[in-house]
Amino acid sequence: MRWRLRSLAVDHAVPKLRPFSGFAGFGTKGLQLDGVKNIVAVASGKGGVGKSTTAEYGELSIMKLRWFDGLSELAYIGGSFNLAVALAKKCQLKVGVLDADVYGPSIPTMMNLNGEPEVTEDRKIVPFQNYGVKCMSIGFLVPKDSPLVWRGPMVASALEKLSRGVSWGNLDILVVDMPPGTGDTQITISQRLQLTGVLIVTTPQDVALNDARRGVAMFSKVEVPILGIIENMSCFKCPNCGHPSYIFGNGGARKTADEMCIDYLGEIPLEVDVVKASDEGIPLVISAPDSSVSRGYNDLAQKLVDKIGKLENEHLQPQISL
């Protein structure tokens, strides 16, 4: 049976929204996904990567900034998938990825997947799978070049189908790749799913860090645990000599994490191989397992597992009031 886009508009049971109180990570049974132990959102304002700056420079500088801008976009949107594959391969976990960016889905390209998903007898979408990771995206349900001109309620309905309407099976971690900003998608995911926590991704410069702070504030307001901050594109590594160039600044994410009393989970450098791997639909942790980027994601995966274990232990400890 083939899944059709109009099915997104079909009414089905929607869980009661979580109010802006209570601990989001554990104990909210009505917001759980069947068989999924942990749901981790990966979020970023994704500002300050070069778009606004481009207009201020001459032609040669514009060409350079566009090249770095395109590279940084690929580095950002490939982050969730490299992390998910690292969790599956290095940590030997059962992992899924939900592409929550309805307007700009990237899973089909990044994970080298295409076609329409099948549907079970109870009308659950069967997720695609590659590199040991189960994947679901609106990109599987609409033509590749078709824009989605949807308002908030339709986006919320689509996200409901893409999360609860999917036969995920048993997963240790479901990674939710969030779109930029702090809008409808972020609120919908935060209120309708039991998030174990959120990873905040930023780049080192102030413009991006300001967006990261807004993201931390938003998720804190809806009481989703902040698992930590990751500095993406911490430096650009020369493909010839490996020399690092701090084109976006140096140490901004670590400083911000310290100021906000949030764990700093590491840094991911920027490499040219990111472009090739993204175009070919092969996560860098697979195509170049010994690269500094791959080592960064493998290290991040282990830190994430340790952080979740620590949160679970804290939750299970008895609370004694005198």
CA distance 87 to 132: 10
pLDDT in the model for residue 40:
95
Q: How confident is the model at residue 273 (pLDDT cuts 50, 70, 90)?
A: confident
Least confident of 130-144, 154-168, 265-279: 265-279
The mean predicted confidence, pLDDT, of the chain is: 79
Q: How confident is the model at residue 203 (pLDDT cuts 50, 70, 90)?
A: confident
Q: How confident is the model at residue 308 (pLDDT cuts 50, 70, 90)?
A: very high
- Whole-angstrom distance, CA of residue 254 vs CA of residue 322: 38
pLDDT tens digit string along 283-298? 888 988 998 989 999 9
Structure tokens at 184: 């409808």
What is the 3-state composition of the chain as percent helix, strand, coil, each rounded to the nearest 5? 40, 20, 40
Q: Which residue has the tokens 């430096």?
A: 235
pLDDT of residue 162: 92
Q: Is 260:65 a contact under the CB 8 Å cutoff? A: no
Listed in order, strand segments (DSSP E) in 44-132 are: 95-99, 128-130
Evaluate if residue 97 carries a pLDDT over 80: yes
CA 243/CA 237 separation, integer angstroms:
6
Lowest average pLDDT, out of 19-33, 95-109, 118-132, 229-243, goes to: 19-33
pLDDT at 61: 42
Place of tokens 């802006």: 20
* pLDDT for 11 beyond 50: no
Q: What's the sign of the alpha-carbon dihedral 237, 238, 240, 241? A: negative
pLDDT at 197 (0 to 100)? 94
Distances (CA, A) of 290 to 99, 191, 248, 261: 27, 39, 24, 32
Residue 322: count other Cβ atoms within 10 Å of its Cβ.
2
H, E, C per residue of 123-179: CCECCEEECCEEEEEHHHCCCCCCCCCCCHHHHHHHHHHHHCCECCCCEEEEEEECC
Backbone angles phi, psi at 286, to 5 degrees: -95, -50
φ and ψ at residue 231, rounded to 5 degrees:
-95, 105
All residues at 6 or more sequence positions from 220 whose CB lies less than 8 Å from its CB, including other chains: 226
Which has the closest alpha carbon to 298: 87, 149, 42? Answer: 87
Work out the pLDDT band at 16, boundaries 50, 70, 90.
very low
> What pLDDT score does 67 carry?
43
Residue 57: pLDDT above 70? Answer: no
Indicate whether 250 pLDDT > 80: yes
Within 10 A of 89 (CB to CB), how many other CB atoms are there?
19
